């Protein structure tokens, strides 16, 4: 069973062609990086795959469900960390996880165990009963990461997972994502951050102008020979320039240049 399948996907907003003939496949066990400049069509693709909007044409499947025909069933099965997602301001983290647990059909005991484990892992135990509105942006991001994983989904879609987190927590989250994917789950990460993609992903797809322009395997011996010793940044710049993207590529490198 393929975790994520996308075939000849298209989606326009009026005259803007956000996704133009996008095709790729992600298997369980992969940590797949979806890398591209602003406006490349990454969020639109994720929104289609999670049943939030309908495509104009093309076929998609997530864990053998069709997000277009069965959006609720698809969303029930997967985890989603949306772009700039914020937890509800009027709830505390504990109340929010109880609500998410109910929607996800988790027992109260399981929610409690998961809440304690995640609060300890990301270091927000002292904030579990504080209203979200009184949490920092980084603490809110920790809550959003927890809600995406609380039901241990086989497929998780995450947009910029490390936004607003301090370096220590970033390392913990990176290690967690690697081990989560290795446990026979598919982790789909949309990011601008090439260093993060290079450090944690097993495979990367580079998106420009609504298309997947190239893919590269990043695991040991499976590293694509076809691209020689080019860095991911070099490949990104070459392919994105070839595609003459509608926006200037915005890239982040967190490490040395
Ligand atoms: N609701 C909308 N209405 C009109 N145009 C939209 C809408 N959503 C996205 N677009 C346009 O579609 C294109 C693709 O946007 P999308 O958000 O999918 O890109 P992205 O790769 O996620 O970008 P970013 O990295 O900046 O988040 C952009 O040109 C964007 O302006």
> What is the C-alpha to C-alpha distance for residues 223 and 35, in angstroms, rounded to an integer?
17
Q: Report the atom number in ligand 1 closest to the C-alpha of 246.
A: 29
161 lines ligand 1 (CB under 6 A): no
C-beta of residue 45 within 8 angstroms of C-beta of residue 22: yes
245 lines ligand 1 (CB under 6 A): no
Span 184-204, average pLDDT: 93
Q: What is the DSSP letter of 250?
A: -
- To 10 degrees, what angle do helices 167-182 and 137-149 make? 10
Nearby residues of 159 by Cβ (< 8 Å), 6 or more positions away? 42, 43, 46, 81, 82, 83, 84, 85, 190, 191
Question: Which pLDDT belongs to residue 225?
Answer: 46
pTM of the full structure: 0.88
Query: In whole numbers, what is the pLDDT of the chain averaged over residues?
Result: 88
> What is the four-CA torsion angle of 84, 88, 94, 100, rounded to 10 degrees?
-80
> What is the C-alpha to C-alpha distance for residues 50 and 240, in angstroms, rounded to an integer?
26
Give 213's Cβ-side CA count (13 Å radius).
22
Query: pLDDT by residue (tens digit) across 231-255?
Result: 778 877 877 776 554 444 455 554 4
Question: Which pLDDT belongs to residue 256?
Answer: 38
pLDDT tier for residue 220 given thresholds of 50, 70 and 90: low
Tell me: pLDDT of 76 over 60.
yes
Q: Which of 14, 21, 63 is nearest to 41 (CA)?
A: 21
Phi first, then psi: give them for residue 58, nearest 5 degrees.
105, 170
Question: Which pLDDT belongs to residue 257?
Answer: 35
Tell me: pLDDT of 50 over 90.
yes
41 lines ligand 1 (CB under 6 A): yes
Q: What is the DSSP letter of 223?
A: S
Q: Report the atom number in ligand 1 closest to the C-alpha of 210.
A: 14
Question: Which pLDDT belongs to residue 219?
Answer: 75
43 lines ligand 1 (CB under 6 A): yes
The CA 61 to ligand 1 mean position distance, Å, reads 22
- DSSP, collapsed to helix, strand or coil, labels residue 15 as coil
Place of tokens 């003459």: 244
Enter the tokens of residue 41.
């069509």
Q: Which of 21, 18, 15, 57 is nearest to 211 (CA)?
A: 21
Nearest protein CA to atom 16 of ligand 1, as residue: 41
Nearest protein CA to atom 7 of ligand 1, as residue: 13
Nearest protein CA to atom 11 of ligand 1, as residue: 18
Query: pLDDT by residue (tens digit) across 124-179?
Result: 999 999 999 999 998 999 999 999 999 999 999 999 888 888 898 899 889 999 99
42 lines ligand 1 (CB under 6 A): yes
C-beta of residue 128 within 8 angstroms of C-beta of residue 98: no
Report percent pLDDT > 70 for the chain.
89
Domains of the chain: 1-78+154-257 (3.40.50.300), 86-152 (no CATH)
């Amino acid at each position: 069973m393929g975790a994520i399948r996308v075939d000849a996907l298209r989606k326009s907003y009026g005259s803007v062609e956000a996704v133009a003939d996008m095709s790729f496949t992600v298997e369980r066990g992969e940590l797949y990086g979806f890398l591209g400049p602003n406006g490349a069509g990454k969020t639109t693709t994720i929104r289609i795959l999670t049943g939030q909007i309908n495509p104009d044409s093309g076929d998609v499947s997530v864990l053998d469900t069709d997000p277009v025909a069965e959006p609720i069933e698809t969303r029930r099965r997967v985890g989603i960390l949306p772009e700039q997602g914020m937890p509800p301001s009027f709830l505390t983290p504990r109340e929010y996880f109880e609500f998410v647990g109910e929607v996800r059909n988790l027992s109260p005991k399981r929610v409690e165990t998961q809440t304690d484990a995640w609060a300890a892992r990301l270091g927000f135990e002292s904030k579990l009963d504080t209203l979200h509105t009184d949490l920092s942006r980084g603490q809110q991001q920790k809550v959003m990461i927890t809600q995406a994983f609380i039901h241990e989904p086989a497929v998780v879609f995450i947009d910029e997972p490390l936004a607003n987190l301090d370096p220590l927590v970033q390392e913990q989250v990176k290690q967690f994502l690697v081990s989560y994917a290795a446990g026979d789950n598919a982790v789909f990460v949309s990011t601008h951050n090439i260093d993060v993609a290079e450090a944690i992903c097993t495979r990367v797809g580079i998106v420009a102008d609504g298309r997947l322009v190239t893919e590269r395997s990043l695991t040991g011996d499976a590293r694509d020979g076809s691209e020689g010793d080019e860095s991911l940044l070099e490949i990104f710049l070459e392919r994105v320039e070839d595609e003459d993207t509608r926006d200037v590529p915005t890239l982040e490198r967190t490490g040395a240049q």
